[in-house]
Amino acid sequence: MKLAVVGATGLVGREILKVLDEHKIYPETFIPVASPKSAGLPLSFNHTSYLIHTHEQAIAAKPDIAIFSAGASTSREWAPRYAAAGITVIDNSSAWRMDPEIPLIVPEINASILTGNHKIIANPNCSTIQLVLVLAPLHKKYSIKRIVTSTYQSVTGTGAKAVRQLENERNGIPGEMAYPYPIHLNLFPHGGDFLDNGYTTEEMKLVNETHKILNDYSIRITATVVRVPVLGGHSEAVNLEFERDFVLDDIATLLSNTQGVILRDDPKNNIYPMPLDALGKDEVFVGRIRRDESMPNSLNLFIVADNLRKGAATNAVQIAEYLDSNKLAGVDISQFSR
């Protein structure tokens, strides 16, 4: 594989390098890309020092795959240029997720829809990935009618600036604020930008992306996003209403046999998912599984995952692995245009 990582010096970019190393994926050609001010500086990967490239240099090197983690504006400008050169782009930003022509992929659920003609592939929002990975097998068996979810999202989802704010506040050091309020010893129901309907962009991502990945727009979905002073990952309290009734033991068995999901559900022994469990892990953890006694055919559960891992870096690397193993990357598509 010839691989470029765009945004290689950022929070998610560094995590991608860590995941590649842990998965023992060492590309034949590795091309780190960052902002122009970083071009020419060294970056270490796999005990080797590489020089950071500009976009023009990276495109000229013709990698098979470019994983983008550099923000939506960069993706909108540069992903089509990489794609026009025959490079398959896996994009971590929100730029392409809801484009009807761009596949939105969680490999365990829908990688099979990918073909060599898909030159831009969208990585879902971090909170969506962990949600749908648990919901997909449940929806297949019981048909979900309605989803109500409240997320408790790590500051790492906002980026390095937010992490510095939390660390500064914990240590009593004045510094630049990523949020309008202190995050240490606090939480606030605000993730993304507020929209005219009163929801935030982060909340509507959960709604729209879940519909697209599960390929079912009949599911009624509502979400509330809360930012919390946690570094380990995102947590979600989820309520589901099904078309058909279920047996709790069957739910547990189904989830414990789902690829990429780890069941942690023994509350009598204080075993349930927590961000500390998920930190640095690729899997999604689920527990607190219990019947909603206020509604028929309804279920409560709690889902946790490291948002920088499965929520971003790991999912993108898994897509790259799928493309490489199925020989879907690097196909000449000289007629590509947008």
- Residues with a catalytic annotation lie at 126, 234
In the numeric block, the tokens 């309804």 are attached to 298
In the numeric block, the tokens 């607190």 are attached to 288
DSSP per-residue codes, 258-287: STTEEE--BGGGTB---HHHHTT-SSEEEE
Kind of pairing between the strands at 65-68 and 120-122: unpaired
Largest pairwise CA distance in the chain: 61
DSSP per-residue codes, 27-41: -SEEEEE--GGGTT-
- Sequence-distant (6+) residues with CB within 8 A of 97 are 104, 122, 124, 125, 205, 208, 209, 212
Q: How far apart are CA 323 and CA 148, in angstroms?
A: 34
DSSP per-residue codes, 87-111: PEEEE-SSSSTT-TTS-B--HHHHG
